[in-house]
Amino acid sequence: MKIFNKIRFISLIVSLLLVTMMVVPNMGMAEDIVKQPTVDLGTTSTFAVLAGETITNTGVTTISGIVGGDVGLYPGSAIAGESYLVVTDGAIHKNDVVAIKAKTDLVTAYDDAAGRIPVTRIASELGGKTLYPGVYDSENGFFQITGTLTLDAQGDPDGVFVFKTASTLITAVDSNIELKNEARFCRIFWQVGSSATLGTNSHFVGHIFALTSIAAENGATVEGQLLARNGSVTLDNNTITNGYCEDTSLPPIGQNDDKDDNEDVKDVKNDDEIIITPVETIEPAILNVIKHVINDDGGIAVASDFNLHVKIDGIDVEQSPAPGEESPGTKYTLDAGIYKVSEDDFEGYTLSYSGDSDSNGNITLAPGDNKTVTITNNDNPLPPVIIPTIPVEVITTTVTGGELPNTSTGLFRLLLIGFALTLIGAIGWCWRTRKFNA
């Protein structure tokens, strides 16, 4: 009996150990599941559309968002069909300091999303699926949505969805993304390794970070952002909404979590205060323009004789135009952007650029840059003076004996004949006079 009890006691201990071994690892695994934080958009958050190369719009496209209705381009500056863009809650930024900063923040956000782990690998076709917060990538390197994709946050408004694809994202005609159980567009991110295409009349939700380009076909609607890092964004009669997304980690405005009534009274002045995040100060850029003149072939011009321009989008900046100055030159304090340094035509000199610009005087300035462009003008050699040569006819006659060379003109011959006749007459007159007197 004692042996039986002992065996039963040992069996009980072994069972408890087995249960403990099963429970403890599961607890550890539960603790290892880390809730994904949202992707920090930085200043990119205010842009509904941002492109690197161009933006092309066909038809009337409406872009809005309480804090996210901006449209931006950098380093490109061309928006085709801009007059048909209806931007209700933002501004258009073409190659300016705001667009440059947003582009920098887009690169950071793209890299953040691309590096998220752990990753769940799923089939490329997302249509007809229901997915929960997490990080997903495609088994075939691309994602497509045909029909409806349902994103279920399971009651967590801060549940984050990250989709990573090595190549493309393509949504079919009339496809749809449906949000369920407090899922929100501002917590859905699509990192696309090349380009994204949103099909005709499709409805898309989330922030697209495309390495190359994004095309929204006719009638497609977007709740979120279209952000193309290097290429273009093509729009066609679309509606894009990048609205406000409340931070649920903070108590609602007007409420205070303090339990002490006295503390509530003391802090009441803070309850309804709207916290405004200060705008980040962006350091300007410095551009120094030097005019250098070389006069080694007889030129006499000086630097101030040349009229210099600094332009952005073909428009002179403040201080421009201005007379040229030798080193250290003229200093311009400018916003970041792409500028062109030039001068009015000046005859007799050959122009060249050196320093931080290209050979045509184009220069890109980023916040905080301090760059220099030198325009050198070298005088051209003076053309040789040509004195016309007048040919002179020379007549040469050989003189023989006492004969004079025949160099007399006709008039000279007449004078000689006249002199001879006069001499003969004088001799005859003298002879006759002497004969008469005799």
User: Which of 84-88, 142-146, 151-155, 394-398 has the weakest average pLDDT?
Assistant: 394-398
Task: Collect all residues with Cβ–Cβ distance below 8 Å to 297 and sequence separation of at least 6.
Answer: 379, 380, 381, 382
Of 153, 156, 142, 148, nearest to 190 (Cα)? Answer: 142
User: Which of 181-190, 195-204, 281-290, 388-397 has the weakest average pLDDT?
Assistant: 388-397
Task: Collect all residues with Cβ–Cβ distance below 8 Å to 285 and sequence separation of at least 6.
Answer: 333, 334, 335, 336, 365, 366, 367, 368, 369, 370, 371
pLDDT value, residue 174? 97
| Positions of E strands within 239-387 | 239-241, 285-294, 307-312, 315-316, 322-323, 330-334, 337-343, 349-355, 362-365, 370-379
Compute the CA torsion angle 37, 41, 46, 47 (nearest 10 deg). -120
Q: What is the pLDDT of residues 308-347, one digit of tens each?
A: 999 987 899 888 999 999 999 999 999 878 889 999 999 8
pLDDT value, residue 418? 73
pTM above 0.75, yes or no: no
**Cα–chain-centroid distance for residue 223?**
26
CATH architecture group of domain 285-379: Sandwich (2.60)
d(CA 66, CA 46): 9
pLDDT at 257 over 50: no
**pLDDT mean across residues, the chain:** 82
Cis bond before residue 328 (omega within 30° of 0)? yes
Q: What is the pLDDT of residues 27-62, one digit of tens each?
A: 333 334 468 999 999 999 999 999 999 999 999 999
- Winning range, highest mean pLDDT, from 221-235, 249-263, 410-424: 221-235
Higher per-residue pLDDT: 280 or 128: 128
d(CA 392, CA 186): 98
Which DSSP symbol is given to 17? Answer: H
Which residues are 203's β-sheet partners?
176, 221
pLDDT at 180 over 90: yes
Q: pLDDT-derived band of residue 397, with 50, 70 and 90 as boundaries?
A: low
Domain ranges in the chain are 44-241, 285-379
pLDDT at 268 over 50: no
Q: What is the pLDDT of residues 81-108, one digit of tens each?
A: 999 999 988 999 999 999 999 999 999 9
- Winning range, highest mean pLDDT, from 20-24, 62-66, 106-110: 106-110
Q: How many CB atoms lie within 10 A of CB 24?
A: 10
Paired tokens of 123: 């089939």
Which residues are 280's β-sheet partners?
none
pLDDT value, residue 246? 73
SS (H, E, C) 261-278: HHHHHHCHHHHCCCCCCC
